[in-house]
Structure 1
Amino acid sequence: MLTEEVRNYLLTSVFNAAVRAGGAIMQIYKHRDDYDVTLKSDRTPITVADRAAHRTIREYLGQTRIPILSEEGREMGYDERCNWEMFWLVDPLDGTVEFIKGNNEFTVNIALMEDNRSVASVIYVPYLQKMYFAARGFGAFLKEHVAPDETAAYSAEGIMQGAGRLPFVALPKGRLRVAVSRSHQTAETAAHINALRGRYPDLEVVEQGSSYKFCMLAEGSVNYYVRTTHTYEWDTAAGELILAEAGGVTRALPDDGELKYNKENLQNPWFVCRGRGLDLD
């Protein structure tokens, strides 16, 4: 278990890495005619911004001497990482499709994994200048007005100054606001929502890109999220901890189990998330 001193050091490291990556991303976002979009092996897009953010995070977190498993370094073999006791799990630019569309719904996700469980994490929303962060047993927080900065050097005290503990709001009992992916929906998503609508006729659907859906759940502005398309471990690890520390829960579909991390196959099962206070039983 991390000591408070080590936790503060690592949380400071991950906070600054995300802000620096956000700075690299926003420099490219200003020049939308030169994204240099290509396709990865799974046919998902990657841009020069993904690569710049990955490089920034790798260089900054490299000084911690903790290994990094990143979406942009996914080729790392299972035999190399299966015995890691601690590692960084990183999505340098989550919501690349939204980035390309120019709708501002993209994030930087970084989780510190210990024994394959997230123990500290951040989700940074550079366009909105919002930083969501959590540590296991410490709570989940939102710090606003965190401008993208490739030279960010926040101290532990500076991180906590002005940060608000999550959740901020609680939806009225009996009201269901369901977050879904803006760009990745399926017939199974629609069927799941229709089943919920039988119990909650006033159900409201909120479309949102990237891991920001976890942040909305942690804040309390939505209280349910269903995902029935492919995601990977780096898409969920940071958000799952932030949500859990805000009182919510993430469960796999259809078996209601926990999401597992550092598997040989890094793909997640389908899953649902519930915000604090929502009981569907």
Structure 2
Amino acid sequence: MINDKVRMYLLPPLFNAAVRAGASIMQVYKNRDDYDISLKSDRTPITIADRLAHKVIREYLGPTRIPVLSEEGREMLYDERRNWELYWLVDPLDGTVEFIKGNNEFTVNIALMENNVCMGAVIYVPFYEKMYVAGRNAGTFLKEHVAPDAAADYSYERIVEGFRPLPLAGPSFRPLRVAVSRSHQTPETHEHIARLRERFPDLEVVEQGSSYKFCMLAEGQADYYVRTTHTFEWDTAAGELILAEAGGSTRSLSDGRALRYNEEDLRNPWFVCRSKFCKV
């Protein structure tokens, strides 16, 4: 079991890898004429920024001697990873579609998994210079003004300086705010929201790309998030812990179970998330 001493040792590489990956992403983002876009096997787009961020994270986390399971290494055989006790679960650029559209809604997701349970996580939003950090049974925190830096070398003490615990505020009396994917909505998404609207006629729909939706719920900016299209384990592991440690939850839409990790099929079921003070 990861103890506090190990947690302190692993937080800096976790944090710095995300900041360095964010720097490589932003360098490409500034030159939108040269994204080098291609399609992966599932027909989703990939850019040079995805590849560069993946390379940066793998190289920076290499000295930890902990294996990496990444979106850009999804072809890894189940027999090779099924007995891993400790591994990094990484999405080097979550929200590639939003990145291509130029709407700033993309993140770097890194989760530290122990026996297929997320023990530590960061989600970095490089455009907004926001870092969300969570440790199991240790809370979720927001650190702002974390600029992308290809040479980031934050110490543990510097990382935790200025941490703001989440959620940022208590229960709100505003209308229910429902987060949905900006680019991945389905008829089932709309039907689900229609059923919610029967109970909450004044609910507000918030469209947002990437795992930043988990962070919005953790902060208290949104209350509920429904996803009825395919996602993968690297899309949710970090966000799920960040939300959980801020008092929220993520559950399968069909049966209410917790999401499972390091499965043979890395796709998640449809799911719903609730913030700490969600009324639903």
5+ residue gaps, structure 2, are none
Instruction: Output the CA distance in 2 between the equivalents of 1:217 and 1:198.
Output: 22
1:239 aligns with 2:239: yes
Equivalent positions of 1:78-227 (< 5 A) are 78-173=78-173, 175-227=175-227
Instruction: Output the CA distance in 1 between the equivalents of 2:279 and 2:7.
Output: 32
CA contact (8 A) 2:17 2:60 kept: yes
Partner deviation per Cα, 1:34-76 (whole Å, 9 max, x = no partner): 0000000000000000000000000000110000000000000
Secondary structure at the residue paired with 1:66?
A: coil
Instruction: Output the CA distance in 2 between the equivalents of 1:174 and 1:167.
Output: 16
Identity over aligned pairs, percent: 70
Instruction: Output the CA distance in 2 between the equivalents of 1:171 and 1:56.
Output: 40
Aligned to 1:4: 4
Displacement of 1:276 after TM fit?
A: 0.3
Secondary structure at the residue paired with 2:132?
A: strand
Instruction: Output the CA distance in 1 between the equivalents of 2:253 and 2:79.
Output: 28
Instruction: Output the CA distance in 1 between the equivalents of 2:3 and 2:250.
Output: 26
CA contact (8 A) 2:24 2:150 kept: yes
Instruction: Output the CA distance in 1 between the equivalents of 2:170 and 2:180.
Output: 19
Aligned to 1:253: 253
Tell me the amino acid that sits aligned with residue 231 of structure 1.
T
Instruction: Output the CA distance in 1 between the equivalents of 2:223 and 2:64.
Output: 36
Instruction: Output the CA distance in 2 between the equivalents of 1:106 and 1:174.
Output: 27
TM (normalized to structure 1)?
Answer: 0.98
1:47 aligns with 2:47: yes
Instruction: Output the CA distance in 2 between the equivalents of 1:13 and 1:179.
Output: 31
Displacement of 1:171 after TM fit?
A: 4.7
CA contact (8 A) 2:171 2:277 kept: no
Instruction: Output the CA distance in 1 between the equivalents of 2:260 and 2:11.
Output: 22
| Number of corresponding residues | 280
CA contact (8 A) 1:67 1:87 kept: yes
Displacement of 1:172 after TM fit?
A: 2.2
Instruction: Output the CA distance in 2 between the equivalents of 1:72 and 1:226.
Output: 25
1:21 aligns with 2:21: yes
Instruction: Output the CA distance in 1 between the equivalents of 2:77 and 2:117.
Output: 19
CA contact (8 A) 1:169 1:221 kept: no
Displacement of 1:12 after TM fit?
A: 1.2
Displacement of 1:89 after TM fit?
A: 0.2
Alpha-carbon RMSD across the aligned residues, in angstroms, is 0.9
Displacement of 1:84 after TM fit?
A: 0.2
Partner deviation per Cα, 1:104-129 (whole Å, 9 max, x = no partner): 00000000000101000000000000
> Which stretch shifts more, 137-146 or 163-172?
163-172
Secondary structure at the residue paired with 1:266?
A: coil
Partner deviation per Cα, 1:143-202 (whole Å, 9 max, x = no partner): 000000011000111011111000002452473100000000000000000000111011
Partner deviation per Cα, 1:73-106 (whole Å, 9 max, x = no partner): 0000000000000100000000000000000000
Instruction: Output the CA distance in 2 between the equivalents of 1:17 and 1:108.
Output: 9
CA contact (8 A) 1:171 1:221 kept: no
Instruction: Output the CA distance in 2 between the equivalents of 1:270 and 1:165.
Output: 29
Displacement of 1:247 after TM fit?
A: 0.2
Tell me the amino acid that sits aligned with residue 91 of structure 1.
D
> Which stretch shifts more, 259-268 or 174-183?
174-183
Aligned to 1:264: 264
Tell me the amino acid that sits aligned with residue 190 of structure 1.
H
Tell me the amino acid that sits aligned with residue 196 of structure 2.
L
CA contact (8 A) 1:21 1:92 kept: yes
CA contact (8 A) 1:19 1:148 kept: yes
5+ residue gaps, structure 1, are none
TM (normalized to structure 2)?
Answer: 0.99
